[in-house]
Structures are given as C-alpha cells and as structure tokens.
C-alpha cells in the first residue's frame, strides 16, 4: 500500500506500529512493566492538570481544617495612590551647638546616636579670656557702686548750688555708662553659662560647661578633645525628633487627588507591598508645597501619628494615600491564597455525607484594607450555588500540594 499520498493509510500504519511496540513491551521484565505503569500515571496526572484543580476532604479533615464558608461582600474600599518619601526633621529641631567665645576642649564624651537631655553637659572648654571677662564684670560692678554713691551726693549738692549742677550731670552720665557696660558684660557671661548675679572674686573660673539646649540625639561630633574651637565652629549637632514629619514627593499629574487632611499609611525601609497591613504607620497630610521640582514632583508634608523606635531622620518611606472610596467585591484576606505568583480562592463543589470537594479558582486581587481584599471572580462562578472558603483556604492549598507530591 502506498502511504505517502494516503493519510488514512498513514494513520493505520502508526497504529500498527504502536500496537507492535506495546506487544513487545509486554514481554519485558516486571521492572519494565512497573516503569510503564508509572509513566501512564504521570500522563494521567498531566491530563487532569489541564482541567479544574480540585481537592477532596473527608469529614474529619474538614473539621480539622476549620473550614468556614461564606459569600463575597460589596464594601467601600479606598483607592490608594502609591508615593515615595523620606522622614525629615523641621529646621528648628536641628541644632548646631557652638560658643560665642572659643576655647580649648578639655572634656567631651559624645558619640553619634547618644540620647541627650536638655541641660545635660556636652563639653567643657578652657580659655584665659573667660577669666578676663569675669574680671571686667567685677571691676565694672565695683566702679558702678562708687558711681552710685557719687551720684547720690552730687544730686543733693545740686539742689542748693547751681554751680554744682554741671558736676552732677557729668556724674550721672558716668554712672549710666557704667550701668551699660555692666549689663553688656553680664549678657556675655550669661552666653558662656556663667551666672553674673552670683559671681564673686573667689568664684573666678577658667573653664565653662556648655549644656544641651534641647533634648534629642547626637547626630555629629566634628571635634575632639584638646582642639581649639572658634566661635564659628560647630562643636556638636543635635536632632530633636519629637516633631518629625514625612515629606512625600507627589507627581504633578497626581496633585489634583491630594488635599489637606487625607490619611496616609507608610512603611520605612522600602516595603512596597500592596497591603495596608504592611504599612504600619499612619499620618495625615497637613501641608502641600507650592513649588515643582525638576522631576515634576511637589513636596507634601505628613504629620505621623505617634512615634516609633524606627523613626530615623533620612529614612526612606513607601506610602499610600487614600484618594477615594469605591464599592468593590471583597473577601476576607484569609480567603485568598497566593501560590506560584497567582491568587486563588476555593469554592465548594460536590458534597456528600462523608466528603467535600473544593475547586481551586484563579482570581485577580486589588486593594487590601482592614483585613479585606478586593477580588475579581470569574463570570461563570455563582457563589450562591458554590459558596467560597473564607477561612481555612491555606489548609486546602497545603492538602493539594501534599497530594501532588505523593
């Protein structure tokens, strides 16, 4: 028979060849037969995989898995706008400590990250100029005391003697000059944290102690022990993190969706998961910038609610802004399982006295909020006839995977 131009004859020839191969295989050893059986089972599994994926539970397994059935619900879900940002500290909370009169550092025990209380000693400085300022203050104070006595005496004389009026006026001017000098020296001593009101010759000191002006953390110590610091030098930089804010960079095209008072959920460290539960921190927008940066973004400031130990200035933040609410079909997050890059739910199919058959259904997920997730179900799925598993779905996934491994 010519099979080259006859398709039917060609199919018959292939069938005869397969039949001959099967007959020859039946004459082989028992181990060959076992191998063929395993191959046949694999082909069967592969054929079943192309159809609906099902998992069957006995009544005992059903009870142990704590399966709960339910229906999807329509609920308002907030549409989220994803933005990036950074934790920052207002300018008034960044403090650079320096001194009006320089000196040699005699004691400094600071490290970046140390917590500092307001009024705590930061550094001890030494300079002979400190002694000179104290001497000038005490000398001026003594001169002013004499000027006060002379002023009172000349005032009494000028009442009866017109010629003494000129001397009185000169005495008055000298007294006022000394008063101004004493006040100025007192202010300079106060800036050095020396109390002029209690200063006496026995209390002259060549060292001063600089206290912390705020409570916060040390962020930088650019000096060291023994170094001479000038008035323009920064001794230590402090950061008060009690009033931090989150600065978001919102693109110009999205700015119309942003307004003051909106809720923001954010996470630190680059967590960009779509779940709100992955954004543990919450805040409120309180300021929208009025300038556009080169990358076409506008700064938006958010006031965080509360404080956290991971709030570090300069930390990167991933945030979601609640822009609007819409009614969506939702399921509890426990009803949706993720495996192999896909999301699944399970619907109850056949049910008998001793068994439950569930069908695995591929779904698309959307917004996650308050323990619920928006889902898009297949159009041919009727949850009224085939209720969905809202609790225990991961137990079904585990049972299915174990069955495939076996």
DSSP category for residue 334: G
Hey, how many other C-beta atoms are within 10 angstroms of the C-beta on 382?
11
Domain locations in the chain as residue ranges: 7-40, 53-75+327-405, 79-91+241-326, 95-238
pLDDT at 288: 94
pLDDT at 270: 52
Angle between helices 7-26 and 30-49 (to 10 degrees): 130
pTM score, two decimals? 0.57
Q: What confidence tens digit (pLDDT) does each residue in 120-150 have?
A: 999 999 999 999 999 999 999 999 999 999 8
**3-state class (DSSP) for residue 235:** coil
Give all strands (DSSP E) within 173-296, no chain letters: 207-211, 216-220, 228-229, 236-239, 245-251, 263-268, 281-288
State the architecture of 95-238 in CATH terms.
Beta Barrel (2.40)
pLDDT at 50: 52
Angle between helices 128-157 and 165-191 (to 10 degrees): 160
SS (H, E, C) 211-226: ECCCCEEEEECCCCCC
Cα 388 to the center of its chain, rounded Å = 36
pLDDT at 33: 42
The parts of the chain modelled with pLDDT lower than 70 are 1-51, 160-164, 270-278, 403-406
Using the Cα atoms of residue 135, residue 141, residue 145 and residue 150 in order, give the sign of their dihedral: positive
Residue of 196, 240, 233 whose CA lies nearest to 108: 233
Q: What confidence tens digit (pLDDT) does each residue in 386-406 have?
A: 889 989 888 888 888 876 655
Q: Are 360 and 53 in contact (CB under 8 A)?
A: yes
Hey, how many other C-beta atoms are within 10 angstroms of the C-beta on 220?
13
Residue of 98, 113, 102 whose CA lies nearest to 227: 102
Cβ-Cβ contacts under 8 Å for 68 (sequence gap 6 or more)? 389, 390, 391, 392
From residue 40, alpha-carbon distances to 30, 383, 402 in Å are 15, 36, 20
Place of tokens 């001026």: 140
Q: Assign domain 79-91+241-326 to its CATH superfamily.
A: Efflux pump adaptor protein, beta barrel domain (2.40.30.170)
pLDDT at 392: 86
Q: What confidence tens digit (pLDDT) does each residue in 258-277 have?
A: 999 988 989 887 554 544 45
CATH number of 53-75+327-405: 2.40.420.20
């Amino acid at each position: 028979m010519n099979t080259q131009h006859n398709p039917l004859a060609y199919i018959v020839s292939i069938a005869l060849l397969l039949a001959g191969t099967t007959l020859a295989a039946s004459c082989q050893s028992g181990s060959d037969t076992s191998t063929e059986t395993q191959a046949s089972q694999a082909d069967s599994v592969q054929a079943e995989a192309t159809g609906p994926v099902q998992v069957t539970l006995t009544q005992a397994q059903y009870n142990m898995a704590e399966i709960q059935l339910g229906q999807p619900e329509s609920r308002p879900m907030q549409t989220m706008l994803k933005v990036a940002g950074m934790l920052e500290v207002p300018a008034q909370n960044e403090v650079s400590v320096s001194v009006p009169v320089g000196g040699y550092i005699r004691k400094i025990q600071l490290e970046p990250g140390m917590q500092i209380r307001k009024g705590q000693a930061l550094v001890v400085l030494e300079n002979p100029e400190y002694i000179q300022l104290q001497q000038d203050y005490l000398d001026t104070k003594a001169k002013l005391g004499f000027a006060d006595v002379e002023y009172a005496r000349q005032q009494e004389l000028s009442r009866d003697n017109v010629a003494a009026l000129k001397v009185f006026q000169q005495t008055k001017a000298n007294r006022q000059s000394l008063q101004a000098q004493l006040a100025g020296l007192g202010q300079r001593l106060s800036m050095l944290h020396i109390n002029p009101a209690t200063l006496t010759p026995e209390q002259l000191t060549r060292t001063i102690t600089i206290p912390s002006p705020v409570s916060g953390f040390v962020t930088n110590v650019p000096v060291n022990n023994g170094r001479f610091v000038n008035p323009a030098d920064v001794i230590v930089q402090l950061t008060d993190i009690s009033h931090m804010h989150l600065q978001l960079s919102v693109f110009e095209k999205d700015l119309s969706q942003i307004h003051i008072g909106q809720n923001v959920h954010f996470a630190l460290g680059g967590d960009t998961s779509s779940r709100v539960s992955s954004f543990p921190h919450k805040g409120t927008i309180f300021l929208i910038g009025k300038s556009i940066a080169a990358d076409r973004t506008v700064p938006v400031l958010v006031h965080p609610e509360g404080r956290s130990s991971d709030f570090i200035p300069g930390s990167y933040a991933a945030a979601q802004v609640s822009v609007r609410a819409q009614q969506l079909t939702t399921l509890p997050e426990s009803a949706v399982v993720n495996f192999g890059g896909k999301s699944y739910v399970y619907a109850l199919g056949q049910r008998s006295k001793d068994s439950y058959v569930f069908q695995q259904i591929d779904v698309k997920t959307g917004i996650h909020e308050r323990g619920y997730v928006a889902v898009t179900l297949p159009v041919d799925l009727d949850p009224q006839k085939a209720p969905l598993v809202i609790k225990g779905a991961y137990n079904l996934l585990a049972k299915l995977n174990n069955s495939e491994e076996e």
